Structure 1
Amino acid sequence: MSCTENESGPFVVFFLPAVVGCLTILLAKRWANSQVVSGSSTAVSRRRKIIKDPLIKRPLPPIALKMLPPGSKKANGVTKKGCIGGDEELMQKRVSQPARVSPSSSPSAASDMKYTEGPVAPKHIPFPVIPHDGELLFEFMTLVFTLLAAALQFLNLYRTVWWLPHSHTNQAMNFYLIDIHLVSFIVAILSRRFLLSLTMAILRSFLNPKFLPHATVASRMFILGVILGVLAWCTYFIALKYPLMKLFYLCYPAIIYFLLFGFRATPFLALDTGGARSLHSCSSDQRQVRAEVEMFRQDFNYRLNMILFNSVCGAYYTSFVPCCFAQSYLYYSVSLTSQQTGFVWGALFCRLGAALLPARYCDVAHRAALHQAPSSESPSPSSWCGARLWAPDPSHDRFYAVFKNPSTLLCVFLCLQLALIFVQLCLLFSNIPWHGYLAIFLLLFMNYYTMFKLVRDYIVAWKVYKAESMIQEKNINAPVT
């Protein structure tokens, strides 16, 4: 049976559009897949995004060989698509370039090979959100703890034996021996941060956010003026009753403050973090990596200064200053007052460390540290340049050692807190006076709360960084050329 012109009409009308539609769908699908692959890889050039390697995706198509006379244009490589001259030119270009991937026996295994150059970029795991106390709650609890510590130290100094039948007093302390101006001085020093936090919390509740920066500056100036005025008033009356040498005891922390922070008022009124950003930007530019690590290193040192100064200042004014201004005829246990000073300092140090160096902050610094290399992996100073890795720098080496695994830093704070609690529990079973029992018992409440915070942060950080190290080792051991 022969096909006429009228019989070919249904084939053209029905089958040809279907074939064209299928080809269009296949081409669109392949184009979409190529866009996904090209969007996820930034190290592959534009030519390689378009021309795919036949060794990976599909076998080489059969090449039709033709016998061509020597000297012809096609033999010289000026051929059309699909001829042997163009394939030889393409293979020569591929041979001249560095090999990316070695061909595998199976196409699926070859498609999983990585296209990377140089060192493998670190993989960051999202750190879980850990709830922490707000600024106002933290300052309130710290104020209550320090005021309680000061009251317990005054109890160690001015206690009485009021329970004896022939005692001439019915009160637990000789309140008439306590200088009210000294107590006011101590309370003003200890409450400075809480007053500012309370003022800012009130202003945030009803003030427009665009006026908040100006209100913050005004409130800091007002609180600073009030605190300095109260301190000057108390110092005047203290100078009338005590030798001039004892005034040096009151002003000694001010000398340390000016050496650490200069003439800035913000660290005195608040736990300032130095204005460091809390986000990390992944970058392969070593100049940017060095600048970011240097910023985090300075901020970490600043936070350590804040922790040391505020913990020493709190223990100094709550436990040491009352002993300095005690009357010469007053008898008290030096060992008991000294251990009270040490317990207060240890509790404040761990509490401020958990607040200023939380697990979230350590994770951000850890991400920045992973992008740097220690000096042992860096080139020699003579061959070092700005575009390469780290030059020998001991400060950056220390930063890398601390934040390579921040759970170690959290473990240090946790061990200090556990050691402090262990010593206090051992003293409870020793032969100490009744006021010593009371002091240790009340201070343990705050230590238990801080221990809970540190244990939680350490467990979360330890699990996160353990999983991150396993992923990093797997990424390093992957076949990369």
Structure 2
Amino acid sequence: MSCTENESGPFVVFFLPAVVGCLTILLARRWANSQVNNTSSTAVSRRRKIIKDPLIKRPLPPIACKMMPPGSKKATGVNKKGTFPVPEEDMNGGGKRIGRISRPPSTTTLPAVGLPEIKLADGPVAPKHIPFPYIPQDGTLLFEAMTFVFTLVATGLQFLNLYRTAWWLPHSYTNQAMNFYLIDPHLVAFIVTIICRKLLLSMSLAVLRIFLVPKLMPHITIATRMFILGLVLGALAWCTYFIVLKYPIMKIFYLCYPAVIYFLLFGFHSSPFLELNNSDPPLHCCSHDAAQVRAEVDALRQDFNVRMKKIIFNSVVGAYYSSFIPCCFAQSYLYYDVYAASQQTAFVWAGLFARYTSQLVSATYCDVPHRAALHLGRWRPDNTCTEGCEVSEWCGARVWARGARVLAGSRTFVALSPAVAADPNSVAHSRFHTVFVNPSLLLCGMLCLQLSLIVLQLCLLFSSIQWHNFISIVILLFINYYTLFKMVRDYLVAWKVYKAENMIQDKNGSVHPVSN
């Protein structure tokens, strides 16, 4: 019986993961709606409701129903020092007398005929934030364990693509699915040491936290990191010594090539090599100081760039050692399918990239740069400004309101956001605001890429592929389904939260600031 025939196996394997994926998406959407309903409802409505307890029979306090003209203050019964005299009094529903404080005529009034009544603010409108709901994330130990299992399985699948046998034939000389005697054990030990380095440190720190007090953990963490680093480098050196004795120097260069990339990206720091992210999550500070807002944005931008470097490096290293290195060290007389090996490498890299992205650039993390982006604002080059337009010289010590026109360098810019503290000539500020003003778009792009990967793998299951490629795609699909679940959950929660926040911003947008 040949395993390359087009039987009903692909259909069974397709429908089972498809049903599991659909159920996962439905459960994530239901969970997201339940998490955001309370937050969005309390955030959108800013009215204070008087709730009467049915168990306590007491009347509600009387509510004044006096209509106030535009531009006047609310009614109050307290005549504070320094206020204007009370010219008249009105009766409320409870029979008490309430005073209405008059105020001098405002200098900024609107015509009474033909224009809507719009309240004018004296300065930029501060952005409003709503609390972001809690989204559970994988712990460091769980994430590293799952990533290690995924990479280890991918390594075994690549060796299967290279050293497979026709064990099912009746006159085959072997009864094993792989030619294990052709696999170099020192190469396998080198690959396993590389892909388990972060898991070793995570397990060690998790065990030490159980037996040690928290105040000793900073010093123990440094000592444990140095011990694991020495252990990993020693094991790699031992494996490299035996590999050098059997292979030419060019293949040794392939083996050590990622080390050059690591030093170019991170220098001589050892923490990115052993830990995915050892820094505290960034925090946001609502400030009305323009210089402080720009400093916070620069810090968040650097943190995001470091995270992207870690995502790219760790995903490339995982796919490089698990799928590419076995092909480089294959015997010269060995014939294997180059297309299948390349496809395996690409799928492993895409799966690892999605996993690291969902862990380091989650919806919870994106909310902090989003809040900073609202305070930062954005400028747009203004080419329609004429000589009659009022243009001010840009000053970095103030926050500009929407519609303000400034002159920076030799160009004129106009403010597009309710509050703008960005530098008009800074491309980094403009790019930061574009990416994080609505992080749900970023999460949606990541989700679309993950969906495209899964759809491509499902389409390959229907094609006439060999049995080892079929097994590789099926196994890689399961970890991609888990990543898809996390991305769908993050996107749905972020989409609901920022939709509610936009409603608040639109409501506050009725208060138009005065252009400075």
TM bracket (short chain): 0.7 to 0.9
Taking the aligned partners of 2:297 and 2:465, their CA distance within structure 1 comes to: 50
| 2:503 alignment partner, one of 470, 473, 478 | 470
TM-score by length of 1: 0.77
Higher RCO, 1 vs 2 (CA within 8 Å, ≥6 residues apart)? 2
Partner residue, 1:269: 274
Task: From the superposition, tell whether residues 117 and 319 of structure 1 become closer, same or farther in structure 2 (CA, over 3 Å).
Answer: same
Residue 116 of structure 1 and its aligned partner are, at CA, apart by 4.7
Residue 165 of structure 1 and its aligned partner are, at CA, apart by 1.1
Partner residue, 1:340: 344
| 1:405 alignment partner, one of 438, 456, 477 | 438
Larger Rg: 1
Partner residue, 2:300: 296
Taking the aligned partners of 2:445 and 2:232, their CA distance within structure 1 comes to: 35
Partner residue, 1:123: 128
Taking the aligned partners of 1:49 and 1:317, their CA distance within structure 2 comes to: 75
Taking the aligned partners of 1:473 and 1:425, their CA distance within structure 2 comes to: 43
Partner residue, 1:387: 398
Residue 98 of structure 1 and its aligned partner are, at CA, apart by 5.2
Taking the aligned partners of 1:386 and 1:293, their CA distance within structure 2 comes to: 15
Percent identity reads 61
**Contact conserved, 2:281 with 2:365, CA < 8 A, in 1?**
no
Partner residue, 2:450: 417
Task: From the superposition, tell whether residues 53 and 289 of structure 1 become closer, same or farther in structure 2 (CA, over 3 Å).
Answer: farther
| 2:492 alignment partner, one of 450, 455, 459 | 459
Task: From the superposition, tell whether residues 172 and 277 of structure 1 become closer, same or farther in structure 2 (CA, over 3 Å).
Answer: closer
**Contact conserved, 1:156 with 1:435, CA < 8 A, in 2?**
yes
Taking the aligned partners of 1:285 and 1:276, their CA distance within structure 2 comes to: 24
Task: From the superposition, tell whether residues 305 and 60 of structure 1 become closer, same or farther in structure 2 (CA, over 3 Å).
Answer: same
Q: Secondary structure at the match of 1:241?
A: coil
Partner residue, 1:314: 318
**Contact conserved, 2:123 with 2:513, CA < 8 A, in 1?**
no
Q: Does 1:162 align with 2:173?
A: no
Taking the aligned partners of 1:402 and 1:474, their CA distance within structure 2 comes to: 23
Q: Secondary structure at the match of 1:238?
A: helix
- Larger mean Cα displacement after TM superposition, 343-352 or 373-382: 373-382
TM-score by length of 2: 0.72
How big is the alpha-carbon RMSD for the aligned residues of Structure 1 and Structure 2?
2.7
Task: From the superposition, tell whether residues 120 and 381 of structure 1 become closer, same or farther in structure 2 (CA, over 3 Å).
Answer: closer
Letter in 1 for 2:131: P
Write out the 4+ residue segments of structure 1 that deviate beyond 3 Å after TM superposition. Answer: 48-54, 58-61, 101-104, 113-116, 377-388, 478-481
Partner residue, 1:22: none
Partner residue, 1:440: 473
Q: Does 1:150 align with 2:150?
A: no
Taking the aligned partners of 2:107 and 2:227, their CA distance within structure 1 comes to: 68
Q: Does 1:258 align with 2:263?
A: yes
Structure 2: tracts of 5 or more residues without a match: 1-60, 62-78, 90-101, 383-389, 400-420
**Contact conserved, 2:121 with 2:511, CA < 8 A, in 1?**
no
Q: Secondary structure at the match of 1:376?
A: strand
- Larger mean Cα displacement after TM superposition, 288-297 or 275-284: 275-284
Partner residue, 1:236: 241
Letter in 2 for 1:395: A
**Contact conserved, 1:292 with 1:368, CA < 8 A, in 2?**
yes
Q: Does 1:176 align with 2:181?
A: yes
Count of matched residue positions in the alignment of Structure 1 and Structure 2 = 394
**Contact conserved, 1:375 with 1:393, CA < 8 A, in 2?**
no
Taking the aligned partners of 1:117 and 1:381, their CA distance within structure 2 comes to: 17
**Contact conserved, 1:250 with 1:321, CA < 8 A, in 2?**
yes
Residue 374 of structure 1 and its aligned partner are, at CA, apart by 1.6
Taking the aligned partners of 1:448 and 1:381, their CA distance within structure 2 comes to: 54
Residue 123 of structure 1 and its aligned partner are, at CA, apart by 0.6
Residue 53 of structure 1 and its aligned partner are, at CA, apart by 5.8
**Contact conserved, 2:282 with 2:300, CA < 8 A, in 1?**
no
Structure with bigger strand share is 2
Q: Secondary structure at the match of 2:245?
A: helix
Taking the aligned partners of 2:80 and 2:309, their CA distance within structure 1 comes to: 53
Taking the aligned partners of 2:342 and 2:80, their CA distance within structure 1 comes to: 72
Taking the aligned partners of 2:494 and 2:341, their CA distance within structure 1 comes to: 37
Question: What's the CA shift string for 1:172-226, capped at 9, x where partnerless?
Answer: 1000000000000000000000000000000111101110000000000000000
Structure 1: tracts of 5 or more residues without a match: 1-28, 30-47, 62-89, 105-109
**Contact conserved, 2:128 with 2:504, CA < 8 A, in 1?**
yes
Letter in 1 for 2:208: L
Partner residue, 1:280: 284
Q: Does 1:357 align with 2:368?
A: no
Residue 49 of structure 1 and its aligned partner are, at CA, apart by 7.0
Task: From the superposition, tell whether residues 380 and 241 of structure 1 become closer, same or farther in structure 2 (CA, over 3 Å).
Answer: farther
**Contact conserved, 1:122 with 1:472, CA < 8 A, in 2?**
yes
Taking the aligned partners of 2:164 and 2:448, their CA distance within structure 1 comes to: 34
Taking the aligned partners of 1:269 and 1:250, their CA distance within structure 2 comes to: 19
